[in-house]
Amino acid sequence: MGQQMRHFLSGLALAATLAASTPVLAQGLFQPVVYINNAAITRYEVQQRQKFMQILGAPGTTEQEAQQALIDDRLRNHAARQLGIVPTEQGLQNGLEEFASRAGLSAAEFTAALENAGVEPQAYRDFVSAGLVWRSVIRERVVPRIKVSDAEVDQELRRQVETPILSRVLISELIIPAPPGQEQQALNLGRQIAGANLSSDQFEDAARQYSAAESAQSGGRLAWVNIDNLPPSLRPIITALQPGQTTQPLTVEGAVVLFHLRDSQGTLRPGATDQVIDYATLRLPSAADAATLGARTRSCDDLYIQAGTQAGQVRRQTVPQGAIPTLVAQRLATLDRDETGVVDYGNAADLVMLCSRQPALVADMAEVPTTALPEDGVEAAVPNADALPTREAVRDEIFNRKANAAAEAYLAELRADAIIRRP
């Protein structure tokens, strides 16, 4: 909690200083600045939300951004009322406690600290309440419609299997000084640089011009660094980048920092190139017979139908790639799912059909039954299966991703349907 708590408390301290030193002009403070479906947002509410957001870790929050946040909360509350969703006092109190605990404080302590910084308790309650009812709206309207298929889980696992595990990165840094009173200017510059989608050369030019780091003379270039040597909080930010991309500005004490990924190096998981093949074969008198049957067969299940009286001779098995006879394996290598090929032995031929192909790591996680002997089975091809998340974890990740996207789409729909006007 150390860093996060320090961040909250430093924000509270800064806001308290500003509250003590800035006179409050009451004139026009409670005038509406915008109406959403005839519900008013006052200038005072905007100022309160702006200060609250700054305390939470967005020091460059503008009045426009605070106003948009309030508009979205009004829309969330409107959607909740339409569904008859109202937060209970106990539910709201639990939400206040949970949120305050992120700063290592109780709700009462957090509320007192906010008041000392010039933020009324109601601003805190409104923020948490809107989040609570919106989660209930999403659970009722969005979640029941979200489905995650086994095929989607397999696809995501295959993507992870085929993605090298990053071991080293080549990054450039740009550190913009942000002395007291100039935080907003520094953040605005950082946002401008991050939003410009600069190439590596352009980022280096910007670093030479704006960076206060020792690396500025070399365009912010740093040497190769091991991922494990990066601060834990920075690792997910850097590993989420593709070469040529720049982070969003990161605010630290006295500065705004950007990183640009120039290159990365990684290695595949052990066993990532191994495959498990589900295929079917049928021995026939000639290559012509095999080709004729293959031409009218549409899938592995259909093969049993098309084979007719020979259906009992169809041999279907799921085995590691290395356990397949060489000639059959070579033919399978050229096939896509539900495609057929022929292996001609001269005095006979095999009709070969590919039913599915997947990485051994994924097959092992799904506990795919294998007809290979234990010593040749999937387990032997998976020396490091623990490097991958579980299927349930992947399913949850896909579900949450879909839920977040659907929630954003629903909020955008509410915005489009709302009557928003300014006096």
419 in any annotated domain: no
Domain coverage including residue 81: 32-144
Q: Is residue 292 in a domain?
A: yes
Judgement on whether residues 82 and 112 belong to the same structural domain of the protein: yes
What pLDDT is attached to residue 357? 86
The Cα–Cα gap between 192 and 198 comes to: 10
Mean pLDDT of the region 127-147: 94
> Is there a domain that residue 301 lies in?
yes
The confidence score (pLDDT) of residue 154 equals 84
Residues 196 and 262 in one domain: yes
Same domain, 50 and 130: yes
How far apart are alpha carbons 81 and 371 in whole angstroms?
A: 57
**Cβ(418)–Cβ(36) under 8 Å?**
yes
Q: In sequence order, what are the residues at sequence separation of 6 or more whose Cβ sits closer than 8 angstroms to the Cβ of residue 291? A: 342
Tell me: do 255 and 315 sit in the same domain: no
CATH of residue 325's domain is: 3.10.50
- Residue 369 resides in a domain: no
Q: Same domain for 39 and 130?
A: yes
Residues 50 and 137 placed together within one structural domain of the fold: yes
Q: Are residues 220 and 299 in the same domain?
A: no
Domain boundary among 215, 241, 267: 267
Q: How many CB atoms lie within 10 A of CB 201?
A: 8
- In this structure, are 263 and 294 located in the same domain? no
Domain assignment of residue 173, yes or no = yes
Phi, psi of 162, deg, nearest 5: -85, -10
pLDDT-based confidence at residue 401 (cuts at 50, 70, 90) = very high
- Whether the per-residue pLDDT at 127 is higher than 60: the answer is yes
Query: Distances from the Cα of 98 to the Cαs of 80, 101, 349, in angstroms?
Result: 21, 5, 68
* For residue 234, pLDDT beyond 50: yes
Of the pLDDT bands very low, low, confident and very high (cuts 50, 70, 90), residue 10 is: very low
pLDDT of residue 392: 87
With CA atoms as reference, report the closest residue to 190 among 240, 247, 230.
Answer: 247
**Do 261 and 314 lie in a common domain?**
no
CATH code: domain of residue 255: 3.10.50.40
CB half-sphere exposure, 28, CA atoms < 13 A: 2
E strand or H helix at 319: strand 315-320
Mean pLDDT, rounded, for 97-105: 89
pLDDT beyond 60 at 112: yes
Q: What's the mean pLDDT in 329-337?
A: 92
- Provide the number of structural domains found in the chain: 3
**Is residue 79 one of the residues assigned to a domain?**
yes
Claim to verify: residue 344 and residue 279 sit in the same structural domain: yes
The answer as to whether 371 is a domain residue is no
Residue 55: left if φ>0, alpha if ψ -120 to 50, beta else—which one? alpha
Residue of 336, 343, 339 lying closest to 353 (CA atoms):
339
pLDDT digits (tens, 9 = 90+) for 298-320: 999 999 999 999 999 999 999 88
Q: What is the pLDDT of the chain when averaged over all its residues? A: 85
Average pLDDT rounded to a whole number, residues 369-398 = 59
Kindly provide the residue ranges of all beta strands, DSSP E only, lying in 178-241, ordered along the sequence. Answer: 225-226
Read off the CATH number of the domain in which 85 is found.
Answer: 1.10.4030.10
Ranges of H-type helices in 102-196: 107-116, 121-141, 150-162, 183-195
Please indicate, yes or no, if residue 177 is contained in any of the structural domains: yes
The string of pLDDT tens digits covering residues 209-232 is 999 999 999 999 999 999 888 888
pLDDT tens digit sequence for 357-366: 888 777 655 5
For residue 59, what pLDDT is reported? 62
Q: What is the pLDDT of residue 272?
A: 67
